Structure 1
Amino acid sequence: MISDNRPVWWFACLPSMPFPERGELLKATLGGFLGISTCSLMVGLVSNLGLQSLFLVAPLGATAVLVFAVPNSPLAQPWPAVMGNTLAAICGVIAVTLASPQVAPVLAVTLAFAAMLIGRALHPPGGAVALLLGLSPNLVRETGILGTCLNISLMTFALVAAGVLFHRFSGRRYPFRTSLSQAAPTPPQRLGLDKDELTELLAKFHQTTNLGAVDLARLLAAAEEEIIHHTFQDQTCGDAISNDIPTVSAKSGLREMVRQFRLSDHVVLAVTDIQGKFLGFVWHKDVLSELAKLTKPRLLSFQVRATDILRQSGFTLDSSVPLGEAITLLVQSEQEFLPVAENGEFKGVLTRSGLLDLILFANRRKAVA
């Protein structure tokens, strides 16, 4: 057991990243190989064609680490990668041109920091690009100002293009800058926070360069799902259904539907076929709408059947589905009721109000414990 009086700095020296999974290790290694190989082949191809010479630079290795090992990072996206390295190269040649060899490296890195931050293109390898050029005035003179900047830009672009192609088959999304409405697993309405609020939250904890608003939304939604699963543990849909929803057959007429509504406080009726399979819901307001159309209720009430006005639910849950998963589906579907069946036979519905009571009961039970 680690004692409480051990210096805090000692813990900061330990690895902060978990040991990589075998699949992620293989993907990152293979991606880095393909990325740098693409740049090398591009250099060889341009050289064989007799065009302006291209060359590899060490900071491309650092860019490859970000693009292939942490493709979800805001620092690894195409804009900061290509633009960040390009701005850093421009700053490097400016420093070499204007300053002495002793001052040029410092000036190059300083200008690169400012340029990347202002250009919203912060890319750690960009600092290495600026320092490399600041230390290599001969390289800038031999290649030329335009040639040096163009080389860095083209090489980074080739590496990023290889990353985009590679991640189409790796199972990871790159570029990873989607809108909140497209963020899996849930839409922003579930979190109750918009992109600006999530960005402000990241800025509050100084995490804007480590995580994007979309990533944070995904993490919060995933954490929410885990909390739900932990709260209800082994409970299933069958433990939480409301089985007092009135049921009518598919051929039931308006008279029968009105009678069922008069006997119940619910606003829906469940419609089933002869085998008891759920077909959909009939809503109270739809029945009232049909009644309003009738001029001779006694003669016409049998012309409208339950199947004519029912609304399909979209899917039916099995009673064995874990309750935590069912709650997630209920929130995502934005429906008031979800039908529950056992072996295909309709058993009842999950309701938002019923689940709210169950959540409050679980919280009270934990408080007592």
Structure 2
Amino acid sequence: MSASSHSWIEILKPNFKVLSFKERGLSGIGALIGLAISSLISWYALDGINAWYIAPMGASSVLLFAVSSSPLAQPWNMIVGNVIAAIVGVSCGLWITDLTFAFSIAVGLSIFLMMTTDSLHPPSGAVAITAVLGGDTVHQLGYYFVLYPVLLNSVLLIAFALFFNRMIGRQYPQPAQINQRSSDPTPTQKVTIQPEDIEYALEQHTELLDISQYDLESLILEAQQHANHRLSLEGRCADIMSKDVIYINADDEILHALDRFKQMNIMSLPVLDEAHQLVGTLALSDVVEWFRNTSEIRSPWKDQVKQIMHRQVVMVKPEQNIADLIPYFVEKSFNYLPVVGEDRKILGIISRSDMIAVLYQNLLQQGS
């Protein structure tokens, strides 16, 4: 083979990671066993009807066992995508006499509906075609085709994929990367790339991108540059604060506040009044001290947060410079700083973790 022909072949090949022999073997074995099990169970469930028309499941097995981390391989995509395609395919087969026209509409409409429901699954296009061109056996089933073999085989193959991928150490399905404590991004996410940064980079490209590794790296670099510009120490408090604020009310019972501390595993909380204005702060140590004094005679009314909270609170403004906060966290060992508006209504919280993440991001920028 000449050097020129070899270069042309390299151009045609995708920029795709080649997995180890072990991973390739496991992917093939998983697909083999998964298809065999789902086909045999379906064969018995359908009273011995030939299961040749479950061919789209072969394409699904490529995703489930070879690229299980792909969004297109997740259980929602396979089950919902296949069901949508089966319903559309059966409907087109029943109501449109021209077969070419019928399966063309079936595939096109299935793609539109799958994209609308965020359930895009490429093998579902073959499900739609199978529903139209599957012959008398499929046509006699009518809409039962949606339930079996499509839904039946989808559920069986997904169930085995869950078991097999977990057994060999792969995480499937892919968990959502969210902040378990609140609806805000985690501190690290807030100082690196966020969805709006990706959107900013995408807006700079007018063409439709079928993402390759090079395209993705270029987008990430652009998004990172945008994030670095926003999240330097010259940035504003509003850029890194958490808007989903965990707080307690001034009139809450102290025991309720203790439950909040245990539930959220944090050391202090802001205290708000009925108007959602910041009126104080309560630390876990204050609650501990309150318990220590339980043996002493105290007023019966002293069981609410407002009786033991600290009313002097350091507050910052959303437009304030991030660098201004460093002394509070370094010198005074603050756990958090509340961000408030002009009316003292709380807008967000900046925690020590947020500041550590910002400082870490700035160290990375200086070292690059």
- TM-score normalized by the length of structure 2: 0.50
- TM-score normalized by the length of structure 1: 0.50
Larger gyration radius, structure 1 or structure 2: 1
